[in-house]
Amino acid sequence: MHSRAFGGSACIGGREWYQNHDRVVGAPGQTLLYRAARKVYRTIVPRRPSVWALNEQYDRQTVEVMKRTLRPDSTGVDIGAHAGAFLREMFSLAPRGRHFAFEPLPHLAASLSRNYPEARVHAVALSDYNGTGTFHYVVNSPAESGLQWYASIDDDLVA
């Protein structure tokens, strides 16, 4: 390995590293030691999966459970049906069963009714509590929409 220094920069192995004391120009706040420590840290503590990766994993696991438990005449319930991915699996795995979809967003509920005329689609939000809430619609990510619950002392869990 060869190295040479000139005018405030150093050449190591043919690659130039412009330095300002112990900091690398172009990587504000990151020293050479930081990079090495970060690399070691990432080998010990891998990155956590993203929310989207976890959702995809959950969806795959849910479909696997459905494959193992649904019979051709089983009844299926899809709460928060969105575009109907689970509803489609229900119809595939239990073609003679009755299927229900609950989707609070009117345009998605209408789409489910058109795409799955055999299903009973309800354009309502469901909760495990009695009471009143506000439904928040996330326009750029409808799957993240949901109820904001207003709890009171008298509210009971729905059995």
What integer pLDDT is reported at residue 87 of this predicted model? 97
Neighbouring CB atoms inside 10 A of 95's CB total 12
What integer pLDDT is reported at residue 27 of this predicted model? 55
Neighbouring CB atoms inside 10 A of 44's CB total 6
Question: Each residue of 131-144: pLDDT tens digit?
Answer: 788 888 888 888 78
Question: Each residue of 28-71: pLDDT tens digit?
Answer: 566 778 888 888 887 887 778 777 788 899 999 999 999 999 99
Neighbouring CB atoms inside 10 A of 15's CB total 7
Which residue, among 85, 126, 131, has the nearest Cα to 108 in the 3D structure? 85
Over 90: is that where the pLDDT of 156 sits? no
- Give residue limits of the domains in the chain: 3-44, 51-126
Over 60: is that where the pLDDT of 8 sits? no
Over 60: is that where the pLDDT of 1 sits? no
What integer pLDDT is reported at residue 29 of this predicted model? 62
Question: Each residue of 66-98: pLDDT tens digit?
Answer: 999 999 999 999 999 999 999 999 999 999 999
What CATH class has 51-126?
alpha beta
Question: Each residue of 102-123: pLDDT tens digit?
Answer: 999 999 999 999 999 999 999 9
What integer pLDDT is reported at residue 6 of this predicted model? 39
pTM exceeds cut of 0.95: no
Which residue, among 37, 19, 15, 38, has the nearest Cα to 27 in the 3D structure? 19
Asked if residues 89 and 69 have their Cβ atoms less than 8 Å apart, the reply is: no
84 vs 24, 110, 112, 143, CA distance in Å?
Answer: 51, 11, 7, 12
